[in-house]
Chains A and B, each alone.
Chain A
Amino acid sequence: MWLEGERASRSRWWDDIDRLFADLPPPLFRQIKLLEYDLAIRHSPTGQFRDVFTGPDASPVLSIATWLLDDLEVRSSAARDAIERRLCIASLMLAARAETIEGMRDPGGLTTDDRIALVQWLSDRALGEVARLIPREAPFWDVQAAIASEDAARLAAQSDPDPNADLTGEPETFLHSPFAAPMKIVASAALASADRDDAAARILEMLDDMSQAFQILADLASMQHHLQQGQLSYPIVFVARAVRLPLRPRPKPEVILGAMVATGSVEAIVESAAARLRNAQRAAIDLALPTFGAFLSDAEARLDARVAGLRSGAGPREGVSQRAPLLMPATPTVPQALGMAEGFLLADPTFRESWETHREGMLGRREVASRFPAGLILEILCMRGLDVRGAIDEFLDFTVANEFRYYDHPRSGVDSDTIGVFLRLRPHATVGGDFDRSATPILDCLERNVREAGSIPVWITRCAGTERAESSVIALGEACGTVAAHLLLGIVSLSDERGAMVTIGAQSLLDRIGSVGVAANVNYPSLYALGVFFRLVQQLDAPNGPAALRGIEQARSALTTELERAVSTSPATAQDGALLILACHEANREDLIDPAWLVQVQKRQRFDGSWIGEPFAAAPNRGRSVSWYSSTLLTTALCYDALAR
């Protein structure tokens, strides 16, 4: 009986829902498309969106209005059709809203904060549908406001839990169904529109019991995931209580899962869900709601079969629809994200996508490229312990063959970034000695430049063979402290014979940082520069660092002020989050890292393991213009580095 009502309601109104979504502007349409799949994966027995919240194993979120109108014997009419249609749409909007909020709150999921626009649209649209049915002075709106306030308070408490809260209380404290409020609002609206508010309080209680029963099962299925994320739920607290295990600090996931097995808590937890279904069924019978009664009876029978299967170890019988697993396996998010990222980063040993490749006719050639960004990626990968020696050898070989020019063109200038990354990668190559000899002439020329200028230049001039480049090319980005820091990080470890160059260059940069802070950077994102500057300051201040440098503390202090200011604002993108995390690590200020930044990085990873490229440096484009250089490989490497620390 309930099944027919469910199918009939869906087949009548689903096209309206499809049309509603199809009319959305592109950004919201993209969000709702993902939401459709999320709902289907989590709440549809077939995996199809049209079947969400169907069958005896799911909260009948979308069927509440139809079933109530059937059970209250509201006769078929155009008016009833209008009520059913609008409340079916409102149900879906409210359930979708609840699912989106749950997704945004899940640190291991992929629902990003920008879905707040969708939450807003779903809320407005749901109440808009109800408002067409119920006059604004009706008592329903007070009921709706109370339910919405209670739900908002639940969300606020979950989003900002009291760190001193008593965790020894009843497991029920942690039992919150996101679908309770949608069901109760729609039920209240259906009762109001049928003029049958008299039994509303008991019907809402029945719905509470029902939604709690399904939530217990949902929480049981997600138990490993919640444990990995450090979240508490009804089953977790239930098991901890059974074995008197403290929940502060959080026990390891395996301990709670093992305790659940040892104490036979699964059956008890499932039984607590079944008891709620029985309560709801009794209420349905008392309230003369036969459709609800029949559904709850079937849902309870399914649960009984599950418990019997648990005792016998038997799977579902042949011909019986596949039930969702009682416990869903969950993979820890960070190790999985790192594995995916490694797969992406190592797929092409040349890292070609990261090359700064110009096809606008730079230097009179159809294609000119700088491989410098690939060097930054290699540096990150080898620092994280990946074996990229072959790729480093190839990168260094090319750099030598290209005579340390930034671009692969004879008229390109030689630059400090290229020399710096060459020197930093050199210790990680297979054959270091040959590369040392290759760098000697360019280091001699660099040293002359540094002594003459009293600082480290971005572009190195008057070296043998570079005259052609200097006569006809406008070189951009001079006086960049980050480029100087990149170079110093490479030469600081060289033998003492370069000590004078290090001292001159480092002193000049320290003075500049002490004076203007991160504004000493010209060419890179400020957060990236902050990390590089901190890394350099730590190395200069190390016991084996260069002697007789002044102003290290002033520079560190200026950078710390900048870092403390930076952490007070929320990073907007994955790369910004990663750069902020890296800067905190380089500053040895892990205490400043907000776990929300890691979540932000994790949530923006794509299915191929990458993070989409974000602006990293300005690059010439079409003659006398510049545009942002961005690389998916480089952004991925930075995000990978931040997650791996």
Chain B
Amino acid sequence: MNDQDTAQDPSKFYAMLGRALTDSSFRQRLTNADREVQRGALVEAGITGNDAIIDQLNMAIDAIDKLAGTGGTFAANVKAVT
């Protein structure tokens, strides 16, 4: 999936963002300062990472980070009952 494909069928792009929201290690790779690491994570999600897609991703990652860090955290869970 490349730039044009993403525009036509954004499902893979959404799936990648959804995984980033729920899988913190994947999110770390996606947000890595090294673009090659980022591209590797994108390829893993079935997306050929050109710069335009990475820019789109970086915009969305900001929203994911905020969502994950608000109101407790997305990783928060019930730890004990008693």
Point out residues on A near B: beta carbons under 8 Å: 37, 41, 47, 224, 243, 245, 251-259, 261-262, 264, 266, 306, 309-316, 322-329
Q: Write out the residue numbers on chain A whose beta carbons fall within 8 Å of the beta carbon of B20.
A: 258
Chain B 15-42, CB within 8 Å of chain A: the 1/0 string? 1111111100000000000000000000
Q: Write out the residue numbers on chain A whose beta carbons fall within 8 Å of the beta carbon of B22.
A: 224, 254, 257, 329
Q: Write out the residue numbers on chain A whose beta carbons fall within 8 Å of the beta carbon of B19.
A: 254, 258
Q: Known: A262-B60, A325-B76. Is A253-B18 also a contact (CB below 8 A)? A: yes
Residue from B14, B19, B63 whose CB has the most chain A CB atoms within 10 Å: B14
In the complex, the answer to whether A315 meets B69 with C-beta atoms within 8 Å is yes
B75 on the A face (CB < 8 A): yes
Q: Nearest-CB distance from A613 to chain B (Å)? A: 25
Q: Write out the residue numbers on chain A whose beta carbons fall within 8 Å of the beta carbon of B11.
A: 245, 251, 255
Partner among A47, A264, A326, A327 whose Cβ is within 8 Å of the Cβ of B63: A264
B54 on the A face (CB < 8 A): no
In the complex, the answer to whether B21 meets A252 with C-beta atoms within 8 Å is no
Q: Write out the residue numbers on chain A whose beta carbons fall within 8 Å of the beta carbon of B70.
A: 306, 309-310, 313-315, 326
Q: Nearest-CB distance from A621 to chain B (Å)? A: 38
In the complex, the answer to whether A329 meets B63 with C-beta atoms within 8 Å is no
Q: Known: A254-B19, A329-B22. Is A262-B81 also a contact (CB below 8 A)? A: no
Tally chain B residues at the interface, Cβ within 8 Å. Answer: 29
In the complex, the answer to whether B14 meets A262 with C-beta atoms within 8 Å is yes
Report the Cα distance A264→B59, complex, angstroms. Answer: 11
In the complex, the answer to whether A326 meets B14 with C-beta atoms within 8 Å is no
In the complex, the answer to whether A266 meets B15 with C-beta atoms within 8 Å is no
Q: Write out the residue numbers on chain B whose beta carbons fall within 8 Å of the beta carbon of A261.
A: 17-18, 21, 60, 63-64, 67
In the complex, the answer to whether B73 meets A325 with C-beta atoms within 8 Å is yes
Q: Nearest-CB distance from A555 to chain B (Å)? A: 47
Contacting A at CB under 8 A, from B43-82, are 60, 63-67, 69-78, 81
Report the Cα distance A329→B10, complex, angstroms. Answer: 24
Q: Write out the residue numbers on chain B whose beta carbons fall within 8 Å of the beta carbon of A311.
A: 66
Chain B residue nearest in CB terms to A312: B66
Chain B residue nearest in CB terms to A259: B14
Q: Known: A224-B22, A262-B10. Is A329-B75 also a contact (CB below 8 A)? A: yes
Report the Cα distance A545→B37, complex, angstroms. Answer: 53
In the complex, the answer to whether B21 meets A258 with C-beta atoms within 8 Å is yes
In the complex, the answer to whether A322 meets B18 with C-beta atoms within 8 Å is no
Chain B residue nearest in CB terms to A305: B71
Q: Write out the residue numbers on chain A whose beta carbons fall within 8 Å of the beta carbon of B72.
A: 315-316, 322-325
Point out residues on B near A: beta carbons under 8 Å: 10-11, 13-22, 60, 63-67, 69-78, 81
In the complex, the answer to whether B76 meets A243 with C-beta atoms within 8 Å is no
In the complex, the answer to whether B71 meets A309 with C-beta atoms within 8 Å is yes
Q: Write out the residue numbers on chain B whose beta carbons fall within 8 Å of the beta carbon of A324.
A: 71-72
Partner among A37, A258, A306, A329 whose Cβ is within 8 Å of the Cβ of B15: A258
In the complex, the answer to whether B21 meets A310 with C-beta atoms within 8 Å is no
Q: Nearest-CB distance from B77 to chain A (Å)? A: 6
Q: Nearest-CB distance from B72 to chain A (Å)? A: 4
Chain A residue nearest in CB terms to B16: A258
Report the Cα distance A313→B73, complex, angstroms. Answer: 10
Q: Write out the residue numbers on chain A whose beta carbons fall within 8 Å of the beta carbon of B66.
A: 310-313
Report the Cα distance A385→B13, complex, angstroms. Answer: 34
Residue from B11, B19, B22, B71 whose CB has the most chain A CB atoms within 10 Å: B71
Report the Cα distance A266→B64, complex, angstroms. Answer: 11
In the complex, the answer to whether A328 meets B13 with C-beta atoms within 8 Å is no
Report the Cα distance A322→B77, complex, angstroms. Answer: 13
In the complex, the answer to whether A327 meets B17 with C-beta atoms within 8 Å is no
Q: Known: A258-B19, A325-B71. Is A41-B77 also a contact (CB below 8 A)? A: no
Q: Known: A315-B72, A328-B77, A329-B74. Is A258-B18 also a contact (CB below 8 A)? A: yes
Q: Known: A254-B14, A254-B19, A258-B17. Is A41-B78 also a contact (CB below 8 A)? A: yes
In the complex, the answer to whether A255 meets B74 with C-beta atoms within 8 Å is no
In the complex, the answer to whether A325 meets B18 with C-beta atoms within 8 Å is no
Report the Cα distance A220→B29, complex, angstroms. Answer: 26
Chain A residue nearest in CB terms to B11: A255
Q: Nearest-CB distance from B40 to chain A (Å)? A: 18
In the complex, the answer to whether B17 meets A257 with C-beta atoms within 8 Å is yes
Report the Cα distance A326→B72, complex, angstroms. Answer: 8
Partner among B67, B76, B78, B81 whose Cβ is within 8 Å of the Cβ of A266: B67
Report the Cα distance A342→B67, complex, angstroms. Answer: 34
User: Can you list 13 A-B pairs, Cβ within 8 angstroms, ordered by A?
Assistant: A255-B14, A257-B14, A258-B21, A261-B18, A261-B67, A262-B13, A313-B65, A313-B69, A314-B69, A315-B72, A315-B73, A326-B71, A329-B22
Besides the known contacts A261-B64, A322-B72, A324-B72, 13 further A-B residue pairs in the complex with CB atoms under 8 A apart? A41-B81, A47-B81, A251-B11, A254-B17, A254-B19, A257-B14, A259-B10, A261-B18, A312-B66, A313-B70, A314-B69, A325-B73, A329-B74
Q: Write out the residue numbers on chain B whose beta carbons fall within 8 Å of the beta carbon of A258.
A: 13-21
Report the Cα distance A314→B66, complex, angstroms. Answer: 7
Report the Cα distance A315→B74, complex, angstroms. Answer: 11
Q: Write out the residue numbers on chain A whose beta carbons fall within 8 Å of the beta carbon of B74.
A: 325, 327, 329
Report the Cα distance A326→B22, complex, angstroms. Answer: 13
Q: Nearest-CB distance from A618 to chain B (Å)? A: 39
Chain A residue nearest in CB terms to B77: A329
Chain A residue nearest in CB terms to B56: A262
Q: Write out the residue numbers on chain A whose beta carbons fall within 8 Å of the beta carbon of B65.
A: 313
Q: Nearest-CB distance from B59 to chain A (Å)? A: 9
Q: Write out the residue numbers on chain B whose beta carbons fall within 8 Å of the beta carbon of A315.
A: 69-73
Q: Nearest-CB distance from B64 to chain A (Å)? A: 5
In the complex, the answer to whether A327 meets B14 with C-beta atoms within 8 Å is no
Chain B residue nearest in CB terms to A57: B71
Q: Nearest-CB distance from A447 to chain B (Å)? A: 57
Q: Write out the residue numbers on chain B whose beta carbons fall within 8 Å of the beta carbon of A314.
A: 69-70
Report the Cα distance A224→B77, complex, angstroms. Answer: 13
Q: Known: A261-B60, A262-B60. Is A256-B71 also a contact (CB below 8 A)? A: no
Chain A residue nearest in CB terms to B21: A257
Report the Cα distance A19→B72, complex, angstroms. Answer: 35
Q: Nearest-CB distance from B74 to chain A (Å)? A: 6
